[in-house]
Structure 1
């Protein structure tokens, strides 16, 4: 098989995986809003597609680098390896979409890329695996705990909505000021964030903590206070309207973040080939991932949105907000570290944690158990199939 043909197959595999991610892994963020009756399923799917593709363009770099270059030592991915690995991951995720048991894209893609990389003769990147495993293991209890505590506070009678919701929104505003946005300029060794951009524009000021100078801290606080004041005013006018708007905004932020994280899984291996081929560039690879997420969100997301919204835990608006706050923070942490992460893992853990605030009756233990088994099977199975699939494909290519 010619190199051009193999490159075309790898390209199509990347598009297929991006579609599967748009349908499955980027769709849960707005599911709590659907469960709380703040959005319809189709409205959520449309928003997921637009926001996830935007996040892919603005935040897709760090995870792409890890998936494409850091999972195996001593072997560079070939077009055939990329094709086999991405198709393997896409099949696993597609099975999740068809069965309504969301398969973590990070597990399926990481396992598949490791499998083909080992088949190429590479050595396992043990230290990377340890870091990923620790992060993945910590995500469910961390997300569930933060969601549970947040939901508990929002339900307290001595914490009125005119205070609790604005304070929570203010904290989210501070985080937004410090998320990585690759479209912004940044000096060497610093992250392109809103806070950093303002600091560069106004000139350096004395350091306050770590790499943060006085301007960056002030910018973060201004963003937080601005969101607080807006929500404070809205809650005084109508608590229900303010809560619903905040819920949709949070879901949108998580969907945006999911695009920045999940696109790396689809284009990371393809990005390796961009430096080896005149037909691909780094920008075109990112565009492939963004378009794939957009189409996947519009055409395949409704089923997963429905499943996450109604089958894991029955949530109200406040518990939905409690589920989305840790999801946003954890997703951005993964992007900052360059770790491939599972949005399904984060969202579902957070949804369960916020649901437990009213007891275990609203949580489907059977659904959770089956999902956990499916997740572990995806990680191990994709690695084995990726390895065997590449060995078989090599004999015919």
Structure 2
């Protein structure tokens, strides 16, 4: 399953960069694998817990149920890799785990479904809308590119300063911390007007660093500066995708590893990270080509516009412990950026087929997961 995620759902973050000819397909596949694996280890715990424990009530996921759920979801992912249509991993895994949980006799976690459903429904308009607005800003004549692109870089850097990472020392009682949070913890400055002054200063410092670095590049060469930011942004989004996607592979095993075997969750996340790394290196190029070439004829500006909302939404989902489909986010951003220059570059047929695949994946994965686990448990005589 982790291999399929690396090949499928962790590919879209670099698709806009490839579409803009800022990086080659094989280079992107290599970088995606490394960064997504790092993101999986440092940010994947929250999503893993949601998938493993919060999708069904009154029962725990057994090893056989986890096997049935992972097999079902992985089949959907493999189909997406070899058909060229990106299958939403979050939909496939969530549906499969709900199906096996119901087969175990569990009760539906209605509150969780409502929370996930609302977030998923909001992703396309929010991602597409943000991408549309960003593309319009970058294409506008009122803001010079030597200012607009560095400003976006500063915003992204400021957000990076506040993302939660498992490798940063955290205060007592906290599992993770951010760069800005660590500075605040070390500095120990008192709050001013209810604001954590040290955190604000650390965020501003990193945002300024991002602004200055890209501004210097754009002043030397606008084209080179924009392409540099696009590749860096793709790397940051690939890192975020690993953190948000690994839980789809490790979540079904959460109960087995943590509750039954008493193993550290970091070992489970590392196992998922290895699978993601292998999948990205071995299977990503096909999906990278599909998402970069077939959805819109992207330039560098629309590519940036597609990735900025992807990064923001992914980190919001991680903070809220919500499994998401990166295909959903990035493709919506690609479409929004494409529409900013007119709809001629957007394949409406491809969009329609993809959305249909998304809906069918969510519905059929529940039924197939239920059926696969029922068949396994009947044949083997165990749950």
TM-score relative to the length of structure 2: 0.97
Q: Secondary structure at the match of 2:340?
A: helix
Q: Is residue 208–residue 214 contact of structure 1 (8 Å, CA) maintained in 2?
A: no
1:141-192 Cα deviation digits (max 9, x unpaired):
0000000000001001221111101111110111000111011122235851
1:41-85 Cα deviation digits (max 9, x unpaired):
111111110010010011011101100000000010000000000
Matches within 5 A, 1:329-344: 329-344=312-327
5+ residue gaps in structure 2? none
Post-superposition offset of 1:280: 5.0
1:287-343 Cα deviation digits (max 9, x unpaired):
110000000000000000000001001110011001100000000000000000000
Q: Is residue 9–residue 86 contact of structure 2 (8 Å, CA) maintained in 1?
A: yes
Post-superposition offset of 1:283: 2.5
Match of residue 184, structure 2, among 191, 199, 206: 199
The change in CA–CA distance for 1:162 and 1:220 in structure 2 (over 3 A counts) is same
Q: What is aligned with 1:146?
A: 130
Match of residue 218, structure 1, among 201, 208, 215: 201
Matches within 5 A, 1:123-202: 123-187=107-171, 188=173, 192-202=177-187
TM-score relative to the length of structure 1: 0.94
* Counterpart check, 1:392 vs 2:375: yes
Q: What is aligned with 1:20?
A: 4
Q: What is aligned with 2:17?
A: 33
Match of residue 27, structure 2, among 27, 43, 63: 43
* Counterpart check, 1:94 vs 2:78: yes
Q: 2: distance between equivalents of 1:226 and 1:154?
A: 21
Q: Secondary structure at the match of 2:26?
A: helix
Match of residue 372, structure 1, among 349, 355, 366: 355
* Counterpart check, 1:320 vs 2:307: no
Q: What is aligned with 1:4?
A: none
Match of residue 66, structure 1, among 26, 35, 50: 50
Q: What is aligned with 1:345?
A: 328
Q: 2: distance between equivalents of 1:235 and 1:278?
A: 53
Q: What is the RMSD computed on CA atoms of the aligned residues? A: 1.2
Q: Is residue 58–residue 106 contact of structure 2 (8 Å, CA) maintained in 1?
A: yes
Q: Is residue 93–residue 248 contact of structure 2 (8 Å, CA) maintained in 1?
A: yes
Q: 2: distance between equivalents of 1:162 and 1:368?
A: 33
Q: What is aligned with 1:243?
A: 226
Q: 2: distance between equivalents of 1:151 and 1:224?
A: 21
* Counterpart check, 1:272 vs 2:255: yes
The change in CA–CA distance for 1:208 and 1:370 in structure 2 (over 3 A counts) is farther
5+ residue gaps in structure 1? 1-16
The change in CA–CA distance for 1:208 and 1:289 in structure 2 (over 3 A counts) is farther
The change in CA–CA distance for 1:208 and 1:44 in structure 2 (over 3 A counts) is farther
Q: 1: distance between equivalents of 2:34 and 2:309?
A: 22
Matches within 5 A, 1:223-234: 223-234=206-217
Post-superposition offset of 1:233: 1.2
